[in-house]
Structure 1
């Protein structure tokens, strides 16, 4: 029986490499189409759309800035800029948290909720046309399962922007 050498830890085999490149290309193509739709229909960046979307799912349309940053895997400084742009446009408000004066709460305004509602049908149409249409139900289930496992694995060692901040420890001398 021929001996199969162990996988080279410094290389991807052809099938792994093809899967990686396909994922990256699909992601780039979908991101480009979504970005274009959001700019055309709502004058929004993808990050601004994500902010409004997570606020739309949050209780009372409100989340702490750190929770938004952790969820979106976006730099805190970049997120601060995007939230400032949304606030300037009247789509969100920012206020100190009543629970923790170091935290800032972001709340979607009625205008922000309306804009999200206006761009969402086009967003769904782009995602459906490019991602969902070529797949059958079992493909969707498999894709969801596979990407869910990968996401869970990646979140075990997330980038700093996706790492929840530790609560400061108080030192009593």
Structure 2
């Protein structure tokens, strides 16, 4: 899509259709992502008893520079605030993370990985890498990897130029 197209949610009658190459690329991308995500999810469940989202949260915390806020985590893994709160609750009950009030912001909660959480990431990471390498990188040549990385970085950066999902205002429930 180009920058000249209307934003998502605009009337369908004003949006030109995707050309066959764009449509084909979109479907191939979505199928490849689904196939990769399914295999990654299977590996993480089998080796660690965790979901892909839980792995993302633990890995970000384990390989980061310290605790992160819930909002920062939600933005980083592109997940809703409520969904992240639920997942963080499961991880906390399992002893893999801790959540504490931020000393700098009364509204923020800081999330930290525990030693058990870090150990779990270390245990499942080799299998995760093996699945990613065999499905995503093995069919590509060196230049393909660089090119795919460049293209997907541009796409991601374009998408990230929009406000993060966690910045969207919350809908108020009508009073009973």
Question: TM-score per shorter chain, which class?
Answer: 0.7 to 0.9
Instruction: Say which of 113, 125, 149 aligns to 1:120.
Output: 125
Q: Partners in 2 of 1:97 and 1:157 — Cα distance?
A: 27
Cα deviation 1:91-121 (Å, max 9, x = unaligned): 0001001111211000000000000000000
CA distance in 2, matches of 1:138, 1:164: 38
Larger Rg: 1
Deviations 1:54-83 (A, max 9, x none): 1012213x1111100111110000000000
> Following superposition of structure 1 onto structure 2, how do residues 87-126 of structure 1 map, counting pairs within 5 Å?
87-126=92-131
Gaps of 5+ in 2: 1-13, 170-176
Return structure 1 stretches of 4+ with deviation > 4 angstroms: none
- Structure with greater contact order relative to length (CA < 8 Å, sep ≥ 6): 1
Aligned residues: 156
Give the alignment's TM-score, normalised by structure 2: 0.84
* Structure 1, unaligned runs of 5 or more: 1-7, 166-173
Q: Is the 8 A contact 1:70 1:164 kept in 2?
A: no
Q: CA RMSD in A?
A: 1.6
* TM-score (structure 1 length as normaliser): 0.86
Residue matched to 1:4: none
